[in-house]
């Protein structure tokens, strides 16, 4: 059974002119459907503005969805009231790009770690302390850090404390929003390894949002490629990388430098930039940049079509252009 099921999720923001009158809709999420199995790592990739962060924030309830359903552990959570949603979301945590930056500078680390337990549980003081210690050890920090303030430890250690705080309630699903962007590769490797370790230890499921395709390839079992608010290709990571079926996935993958491989500066072909999500083209949203576009693509939005290997691809011509 899947842990999280999203069906037809929409998140539309109104575009207003200077007089506050609505002049259109920005369709940040436009009919997203996907599911995550327990224990899985699902990668969400796409360029800036494709809606991948909005997806994470909508699932975790930071943005309410315009329509569609989000089922988490069997409960519909998209339409819950904020207070009812809070109880469900104990098990669903959202991890910002730098979890260390959200620590309160005036609180000792021990206090920061204990707080979620006080708010959400009725555990005894001794139990809370035991869990604080256990979690701190899990992120490889010494116990003496409990009495320090965030500014007394390094940025990398703050990041670990931030992760520990997210783990305090023992969530089942963590949404990781660009957890390694802005990091140097040597640090990135350490963070990714820690995330894998924690997943094994606490039985976690990750929704991994990243623009870095090589990290996603290494880290996730399945990936969803988003373009202008829609998932255009969804399938097992290795199959998508080995033989991308959607023309957009193809161009995106061909833009990633491969050290020792063919230089993309000699071969890269995709031109132009994505249109604004406030003015999504009719029919297939990728047709304005697609080398294979036909009149059919301009008139009809392609449905999600299953390929023989179980992948879903939103393209009219996925079979003929392979």
Nearest to 46 by CA among 214, 226, 223: 226
At its nearest, how many Å lie between other proteins and the CB of residue 65? Answer: 26
Residue nearer to other proteins on the CB measure, 122 or 273: 273
At its nearest, how many Å lie between other proteins and the CB of residue 288? Answer: 13
Taking the CB of residue 292, how many other CB atoms lie within 10 A of it? 16
Residue nearer to other proteins on the CB measure, 17 or 48: 48
Distance CA 96, CA 27 (A): 23
At its nearest, how many Å lie between other proteins and the CB of residue 227? Answer: 11
At its nearest, how many Å lie between other proteins and the CB of residue 189? Answer: 4
At its nearest, how many Å lie between other proteins and the CB of residue 256? Answer: 6
Q: Which residues in 168-294 belong to E strands, given as ranges?
A: 173-177, 205-209, 222-227, 230-236
Distance CA 291, CA 264 (A): 18
At its nearest, how many Å lie between other proteins and the CB of residue 64? Answer: 28
Residue nearer to other proteins on the CB measure, 200 or 265: 265
What residue has token string 């021990």? 110
Backbone angles phi, psi at 194, to 5 degrees: -60, -45
Distance CA 12, CA 8 (A): 13
At its nearest, how many Å lie between other proteins and the CB of residue 100? Answer: 15
Residues that bind other proteins (CB under 8 A): 47-48, 154, 156, 184-190, 192-193, 211-215, 217-219, 251-252, 254-260, 263-265, 268, 270-271, 273
Distance CA 106, CA 311 (A): 49
Residue nearer to other proteins on the CB measure, 83 or 186: 186
Residue nearer to other proteins on the CB measure, 129 or 188: 188
Three-class secondary structure of residue 158 per DSSP: helix
Q: What Å distances lie between residue 195 and 40, 54, 71, 174, CA to CA?
A: 13, 22, 25, 11
At its nearest, how many Å lie between other proteins and the CB of residue 67? Answer: 29
H helices of 29-138, where?
A: 52-59, 82-88, 109-120, 125-138
For the chain, the distance separating the N- and C-terminal CA atoms, rounded to the nearest angstrom, is 32
Residue nearer to other proteins on the CB measure, 13 or 241: 241
Contacts of 319 (CB under 8 A, 6+ apart): none
Residue nearer to other proteins on the CB measure, 180 or 205: 180
Residue nearer to other proteins on the CB measure, 90 or 292: 292
């Amino acid at each position: 059974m899947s842990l999280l099921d999203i069906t037809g999720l929409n998140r539309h923001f109104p575009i207003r002119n200077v007089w506050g009158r609505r002049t259109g809709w920005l369709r940040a999420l436009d009919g997203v459907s996907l599911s995550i199995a327990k224990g899985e790592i699902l990668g969400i990739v796409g360029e800036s503005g494709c809606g991948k962060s909005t997806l994470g924030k909508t699932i975790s309830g930071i943005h309410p969805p315009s329509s569609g359903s989000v089922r988490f552990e069997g409960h519909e959570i998209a339409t819950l009231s904020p207070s009812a949603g809070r109880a469900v979301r104990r098990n669903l945590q959202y991890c910002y790009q730098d979890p260390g930056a959200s620590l309160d500078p005036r609180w000792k680390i021990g206090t920061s770690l204990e707080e979620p337990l006080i708010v959400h549980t009725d555990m005894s003081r001794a139990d809370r302390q035991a869990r604080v210690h256990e979690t701190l050890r899990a992120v490889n920090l010494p116990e003496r850090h409990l009495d320090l303030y965030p500014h007394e430890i390094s940025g990398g250690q703050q990041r670990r404390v931030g992760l520990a705080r997210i783990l305090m309630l023992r969530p089942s699903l963590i949404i990781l929003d660009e957890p390694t962007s802005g990091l140097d590769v040597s640090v990135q490797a350490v963070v990714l390894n820690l995330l894998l370790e924690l997943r094994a230890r606490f039985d976690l499921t990750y929704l991994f949002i990243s623009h870095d395709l090589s990290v996603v390839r290494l880290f996730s079992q399945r990936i969803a490629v988003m373009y202008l608010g829609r998932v255009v290709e969804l399938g097992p990571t290795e199959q998508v990388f080995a033989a991308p079926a959607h023309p957009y996935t193809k161009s995106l993958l061909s833009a990633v430098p491969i050290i020792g491989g063919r230089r993309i500066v000699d071969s890269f072909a995709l031109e132009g930039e994505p249109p604004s999500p406030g003015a999504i083209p009719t029919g297939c949203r990728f047709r304005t940049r697609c080398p294979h576009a036909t009149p059919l693509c301009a008139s009809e939005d392609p449905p999600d079509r299953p390929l023989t290997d179980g992948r879903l691809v939103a393209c009219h011509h996925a079979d003929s252009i392979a």
